[in-house]
Structure 1
């Protein structure tokens, strides 16, 4: 729009003509927004609010009388407040480059004054202290001209050809060199120890690898030997089982043969011995009866005694056969034959006794055994 002016973000628009500004200023200050300005009747100028810098290279003398060349850089700008813009505009609006020149001169003076009260050691070791003191002393003076200092940096301090700073730094350099040599030696030693440790670890790893390899080879050899022995061991085990089976079979055959010998030899021999014992007992009984009969001449009493003793004789004979191994082949018929044989054996014994006594055979006046029954003196005999 014609006559409407707008300042840049880093500028202040100064409008002169017409009424005065705030605080009796000869112009009005506009920042951050536009303003309608009447042409011909109003005049508009712009003041930069951007950051500026000024470099100072000043030769200063310390409290010790040693000349130092100090190089510093000051960063400054016009203040953002209305008063600072008015002050700066009144002084630098027509020639804004003079702000850097004037700022450099102001700081050079304060720098010479402060360095003159300090020693070289303080200046070298306490640069920040020096910069802070220069800023503090120049702040009020800079504010009067509408400028605000953001920072002051001491870039370098040079004593020229005097060599004072270098001499001052020699002990520190020597200490630093000594520390560097010590550090280098320690680093070399640490490197050597690390190499030795690495070599030991490598040797230990090689040893462990060799041990593991040897154990693996031994395990393989054992497995191979076990596999080679598996066939013969299996065959030997099979033969052992065959021998065990044959031994068990031989033992069973021996037990069977023992039982057969007992049945075929021992038991019959025991039966014969028992039969002989019974006959001997019968003979002894016969002689006893014969002696008693001869003493009494009572033939009838003798026969009666024989008849009375017959059941006992048969009982003894049957007792003798009780432990014998008697094989019954025909079932009930065979058992009857055995019983008939026992009775016949008893009659034979009795008949033999009578013959020796000169009497009649038993069968002539004694009826054969027909089972259980009883009669008087002339009846059948009850053999139990």
Structure 2
């Protein structure tokens, strides 16, 4: 809008040419909002409220008479109240850069004054104390010109190569270096111990690892050996079982073969031998009977003798068969058949003897015949 002016956030708008609401104030102060300015009849100027900076570098003489070059930085600005804005505007509105120049001069004077009341040791070791005393000394004077100080920093203190500060710091430097060396030695020792401990642990770990690996390898070798032997052992066991079964089978076959031999060869041979023996005994009996018959020339007596010998012949035949391997299949009937066979065998033997006697001794028949007739 024509004639309506608004100051920046970090500015104060000063309107002159009209009556102010405050006494002894030649202009109206507007901050944070706009105002209508009548053209031609009113005039508007702006005063910065932003933070400003001033640097101070001053040669100061201490309480001991030692010259020090002190550098400081002051951060300041125009106060926020209307009174401070009016005071600053009256002094710096036409040339606002003069605020930094005047602030630097004010602080330079207070800095020389404060440094002159302190020793070098105090200044070097208590910089904050120096800064606070300078601020306290300049606060009232800065308020008169409408300025407020936010901070004061002592940047450097230099004895201009006199060596006083260096000499003052030498014992501390030596102590610090000594402590640093001790600390370094301790650190080196700790590092060496840590390295030795690390190597020891690594060696112990390597040893344990080697032991475990050896155990694992032994177990693997044992398992492999057992696996490699499992096949031959199983094969050997199977062969042993086969051999045992074959041996048992061979024994059974041998026993069976022996029984077969006994049944097929020995028993028949024994039976044949017994038969031969019986025949021989019969022949002997026959010869005896023949002899007796020849001696007595009595056929009746011969027959009676043969009849008397028949039970003995049957008995001998039965005794010969007692050791033979004879299977009776029909129980009592079979046993009767065997007995009848033995009697028949005896009768056959008796008949053979009679025939033999008749063939060899025809003369014996005559008396008989005569006797029969």
- TM-score exceeds 0.5: yes
Deviation digits for residues 280-326 of structure 1, max 9, x if unmatched? xxxxxxxxxxxxxxxxxxxxxxxxxxxxxxxxxxxxxxxxxxxxxxx
- Corresponding residue of 1:8: 8
Counterparts in 2 of 1:225 and 1:86: CA distance versus 1, 3 Å: same
Residue 235 (structure 2) pairs with residue 207 (structure 1): no
Counterpart CA distance in 1 for 2:21 and 2:151 is 31
The separation in 1 between residues aligned to 2:233 and 2:222, in whole angstroms, is 15
Partner of 1:119: 119
| Residue 243 of structure 1: how far off its partner (Å) | 9.4
Q: Is the counterpart of residue 106 in structure 1 residue 99 in structure 2? A: no
Q: Where in structure 2 are the equivalents of 1:44-83 lying within 5 Å? A: 44-83=44-83
After TM superposition, list the pairs within 5 Å mapping 1:229-378 onto structure 2: 229-235=229-235, 237=237
Indicate yes or no: 2:128 matched with 1:128: yes
Cα distance, 1:235–1:134 mapped onto 2, change above 3 Å: same
Measured in 1, the distance between the counterparts of 2:232 and 2:91 equals: 121
Task: Report the alpha carbon displacement of residue 51 of structure 1 after superposing the two structures with TM.
Answer: 0.8
CA distance in 1, matches of 2:120, 2:108: 18
TM (normalized to structure 2)?
0.62
Q: 1:151 — aligned with what?
A: 151
What's the offset of the Cα at 1:198?
Answer: 3.2
Q: d(CA) in 2 for partners of 1:190 and 1:160?
A: 43
Which protein is richer in helix relative to its size? 2
Measured in 1, the distance between the counterparts of 2:39 and 2:233 equals 127
Q: Write the deviation string for residues 223-273 of structure 1: whole angstroms up to 9, x where unpaired.
A: 232223324543565577789999999xxxxxxxxxxxxxxxxxxxxxxxx
Shift of 1:330: 11
Q: Aligned partners of 2:161 and 2:236: how far apart in 1?
A: 108
Query: C-alpha distance in 2, partners of 1:95/1:217?
Result: 94
On the 8 A contact 1:21/1:29 being kept in 2, the answer is no
Supply the distance in 1 between the matched residues of 2:248 and 2:29 (Cα, whole angstroms).
133
TM-superposed CA distance for 1:43, in Å, is: 1.4
Structure 2 equivalent of residue 91 of structure 1? 91
Alpha-carbon separation, structure 1, partners of 2:59 and 2:69? 4
Deviation at 1:172, TM superposition (A): 0.9
Alpha-carbon spacing, 1:232–1:5, altered in 2? closer, same or farther (3 Å): closer
Distance (whole Å) between structure 2 residues aligned to residue 248 and residue 182 of structure 1: 94
For residue 189 of structure 2, what is the aligned residue in structure 1? 189
The answer for the alignment partner of 1:162 in structure 2 is 162
Deviates more, 1:67-76 or 1:38-47: 38-47
Change (3 A) 1:242 1:72: same
Counterpart CA distance in 2 for 1:221 and 1:31 is: 95
Distance 1:247 1:53, change over 3 A: same
1:135 is displaced (CA, Å) by 0.9
CA deviations 1:155-182 (Å, max 9, x no partner) are: 0011113211111000111111112222
Q: Is residue 252 of structure 2 the alignment partner of residue 224 of structure 1? A: no
- Report the 3-state secondary structure (helix = DSSP H, G, I; strand = E; otherwise coil) of the residue aligned with 1:23: coil
Residue correspondences, number: 267
Runs of 4+ in 1 over 3 A off after TM superposition: 231-249
Task: Tell me by how many angstroms 1:40 deviates.
Answer: 1.9
The 1:246–1:89 alpha-carbon spacing in structure 2 relative to 1, beyond 3 Å, is same
2:23 is aligned to 23
CA 1:228 to 1:53, structure 2 compared with 1: closer, same or farther past 3 Å?
A: closer
Q: Normalising by structure 1, what TM-score? A: 0.61
User: 2:175 & 2:64 partners in 1: Cα distance?
Assistant: 25
RCO comparison, higher one (Cα < 8 Å, 6+): 2
The alpha carbon displacement at 1:152 in A equals 0.3
Displacement of 1:3 in angstroms is 2.1
Q: Which runs of 5+ in 2 are unaligned?
A: 250-328, 332-373
